[in-house]
C-alpha cells in the first residue's frame, strides 16, 4: 500500500470565507500516483471546516445566513468561551460544518458525485491555517 501526505496552507483575509479546494486536492492525488484507495481531507484547526457541497454562490450566502442564525458572531459576550478570545461562534460553526471528508479514489480520480465539490470553510480567518490531505491505496 502507498500513502501520500500533504498540507495546504491558507491565510484568508476575511473572518469567514468558503474556498473550493477540489483543484488542490486533485493535484495532490495526481502527484501521489495512487489509482485506487481513499483520500482524507481534514481541517487541522478547531475553527475551520472541510465539507462537500455545491459550488453555487446563492447556497454559500445561505450557509452564511444559516450559520449566523445558529451561532451569531456578536455580541461576543454571549459566549462563555469568549474570555480571552472572540471566536466561540467559529468553534460552533466548525462543529456544524464538519471537520473532514473522505473521498473514494477510483481509476486515479476523485470519485465525486456530479455536483460535489470539496470546500475549506474558514470561520476565524486572518491567520495562517492548514488542511491535511492523506491518500492511501495503490
Binding site for Zn ion (CB under 5 A): 85, 87
In 1-111, which ranges are E strands? 2-10, 17-20, 37-43, 48-53, 100-106, 109-110
Q: Which residues contact 57 (CB under 8 A, 6 or more apart)?
A: none
Output DSSP code: residue 9: E
CB of 15 to Zn ion, least distance (A): 13
CB of 91 to Zn ion, least distance (A): 6
| CA 59/CA 133 separation, integer angstroms | 25
Task: Please identify, using beta-carbon distances, which residue of 4 and 130 lies nearer to Zn ion.
Answer: 130
CB of 101 to Zn ion, least distance (A): 23
Strands 100-106 and 17-20: unpaired
Task: Please identify, using beta-carbon distances, which residue of 22 and 93 lies nearer to Zn ion.
Answer: 93
Task: Please identify, using beta-carbon distances, which residue of 95 and 109 lies nearer to Zn ion.
Answer: 95
Task: Please identify, using beta-carbon distances, which residue of 87 and 117 lies nearer to Zn ion.
Answer: 87
Residue with cell 474570555: 83
CB of 21 to Zn ion, least distance (A): 23
Amino acid at each position: 500500500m502507498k500513502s501520500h501526505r500533504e498540507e495546504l496552507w491558507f491565510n484568508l483575509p476575511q473572518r469567514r470565507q468558503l474556498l473550493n479546494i477540489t483543484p488542490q486536492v486533485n493535484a495532490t492525488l495526481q502527484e501521489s500516483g495512487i489509482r485506487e484507495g481513499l483520500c482524507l481531507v481534514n481541517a487541522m484547526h478547531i475553527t475551520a471546516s472541510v465539507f462537500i457541497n455545491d459550488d453555487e454562490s446563492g447556497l454559500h450566502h445561505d450557509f452564511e445566513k444559516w450559520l449566523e442564525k445558529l451561532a451569531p458572531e456578536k455580541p461576543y459576550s454571549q459566549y462563555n468561551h469568549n474570555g480571552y478570545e472572540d471566536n466561540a461562534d467559529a468553534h460552533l460553526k466548525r462543529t456544524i460544518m464538519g471537520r473532514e471528508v473522505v473521498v473514494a479514489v477510483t481509476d486515479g480520480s476523485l470519485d465525486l458525485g456530479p455536483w460535489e465539490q470539496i470546500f475549506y470553510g474558514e470561520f476565524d480567518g486572518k491567520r495562517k491555517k492548514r488542511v491535511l490531505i492523506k491518500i492511501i491505496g495503490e
